[in-house]
Amino acid sequence: MVESKIRDPNLHKEGNKKIRWAGSHMPVLQQIREDFEKIQPLKGVRIGACLHVTSETANLMITLKAAGAEVYLAASNPLSTKDDVAASLVVDYGIPVFATHGEDRDSYYDNLERVLAHQPQITLDDGGDLTALAHKEHRTETILGGTEETTTGVIRFRAMERDGVLAYPIIAVNDSKTKYLFDNRYGTGQSTIDGILRATNRLIAGSVFVVSGYGWCGRGIAMRARGMGARVIITEVDPIRALEAVMDGFEVMPIREAARRGDFFVTATGDIHVIDRETLEVMKDGAVLCNAGHFNVEINLEALQNLAEEVERIRPNVEAYRLKDGRTLYLLGEGRLINLVAAEGHPPDVMDLSFANQALAALYIWEHHQELEKKVYTLPPEIDERIARLKLQTLGIEFDELTEEQKHYLSSWEEGT
Ligand code: ADE
């Protein structure tokens, strides 16, 4: 068996069924895998990954191995790791994995160290922890480039670029259109609602549902909550986004007002203490709080703890905070990203697009690293379009092309009629 640090290799059979099920709904990645198998474009390239250890991620790892790469995987969140999937990757596919569900902070970082010990040439990150650790420990010398999956990580790396400390180029996979318009919107939209339902078994219809942040994730969550009959309120700090939310038909108001009205609160901003002490102090008795952003910083958990006289876990992902003033607030999934903690993350059909981007970004780095500077890049639009075309093809959907006459019209400026 390959090197690993996992819960139990005997779980591999269940994990393998999940990996195959997910893979059968990831046709674009499947196509890329078949192409990779033929030409082995990443032969011998060492790739270190820090991603959610799910059946969808497993399919990305298998695809990169099919391209000839040596891949090493650690988790990007202790609570999203599926131990059976990790076991199958190790036992059935010979891919080293360092991840166990529910591990503590020390074990989490030890796993990232184990990935770095293999001196990766390419890093794949979700949230930026692996890349940040490589930088902190000055272990970037072998790394030619990296990718980043999520908004939070891209924000971190742009800050590193601005401060002149980024040691290698990063492809912001998150910023491909075939990523954020689909994964962030439809993936987070569906899986966040899925997480809330699995955690609480509560009715969404008729509830007041507060979404903080109207980026692509917030939009998806708001759209799906409305679709289930909730009365949705948006809180925002960006005037353009707030205006968009108004014109999309949502109520927009400051969090301090929304706090008094909400039955459910979901944060999706990527920023700290969006739900702070003053907000917690005026929430209705029985309000449900959760977070869909990458890190568990959006709800001020310390303030919540300080307001409480007792905390009781009443369902696997629900903690009742009984406050000194007699109210009870319910926190889901410890304030960690609810879609991966209480549900299974985004469905494979949409991770197909995100991980097609990851696979092609790894190849892009390998083929272009000599031309890339220590900056944050997006993938070229041709790759984005290729992925969209492939997805449409697998969905059996045909669409139109410009005629020569239309192309000419769009590229000329002399006459308007
Ligand atoms: N991020 C969101 N959903 C995911 C999934 N299913 N697998 C890996 N990363 C994810």
Residue 413: predicted pLDDT: 87
List pLDDT tens digits, range 50-69. Answer: 999 999 999 999 999 999 99
Q: List, chain by chain if needed, residues with CB within 6 Å of any ligand 1 atom.
A: 51-52, 54, 56-57, 340, 345-346, 351
Mean pLDDT score, 205-229? 98
Q: Do domains 9-179+346-394 and 186-341 have the same CATH topology?
A: yes
Q: What is the mean pLDDT of residues 261-269?
A: 98
| Residue keyed to tokens 């991966």 | 340
| Ligand 1 closest atom vs CA 348 | 6
Mutate which of 191, 291, 351 for ligand 1? The one with the most ligand atoms within 8 Å of its CB, which is 351
Rounded distance from Cα 54 to ligand 1 centre (Å): 7
**Across residues 89-112, what is the average pLDDT?**
98
Q: Where are the domains of the chain?
A: 9-179+346-394, 186-341
Banded model confidence at residue 88, pLDDT cuts 50, 70, 90: very high
**Atom from ligand 1 closest to the CA of residue 191:** 3
Its CATH class, for the domain covering 9-179+346-394, is alpha beta
Confidence of residue 177 (pLDDT cuts 50, 70, 90): very high
What pLDDT digit, counting tens, does each position of 185-198 carry?
A: 999 999 999 999 99
Distances (CA, A) of 299 to 220, 267, 365: 20, 8, 36
Query: Per-residue pLDDT tens for 274-320?
Result: 999 999 999 999 999 999 999 999 999 999 999 999 999 999 999 99
Ligand 1 pocket test, pick from 81, 191, 192, 358 with the greatest ligand atom count within 8 Å of Cβ, gives: 191
pLDDT digits (tens, 9 = 90+) for 16-50: 999 999 999 999 999 999 999 999 999 999 999 99
Rounded CA gap, 41 and 367, in Å? 9
- Give the pLDDT of residue 414: 76
Other CB atoms closer than 10 Å to residue 203's CB: what's the count? 12
Rounded to the nearest angstrom, the distance between the alpha carbon of 212 and the centre of ligand 1 is 21
Q: Residue 183 CA: which ligand 1 atom is closest?
A: 2
- For residue 302, report the distance from its CA to the centre of ligand 1, in Å: 28
Distance between Cα 85 and ligand 1 center (Å) = 13
How far, in Å, CA of 221 to CA of 186, rounded?
Answer: 8
CATH tag for 186-341 (out of 3.30.300.30, 3.20.20.60, 3.40.50.720, 3.40.50.300):
3.40.50.720
pLDDT band at residue 417, thresholds of 50, 70 and 90?
Answer: low
Q: What percent of the chain has pLDDT over 70?
A: 100
What are the residues whose beta carbons fall under 8 Å from the beta carbon of 300, sequence distance 6 or more? 273, 275, 276, 277, 280
Distance 300 CA to ligand 1 centre (A): 25
Contacting residues for 8 by C-beta, under 8 A, at least 6 apart: 83, 87
User: What is the whole-number distance in angstroms between the Cα of residue 337 and the centre of ligand 1?
Assistant: 11
CA distance linking residue 358 with residue 42, whole number of Å: 13
**Exposure string over 88-97, b if 16+ CB within 10 A, otherwise e:** bbbbbbebbb
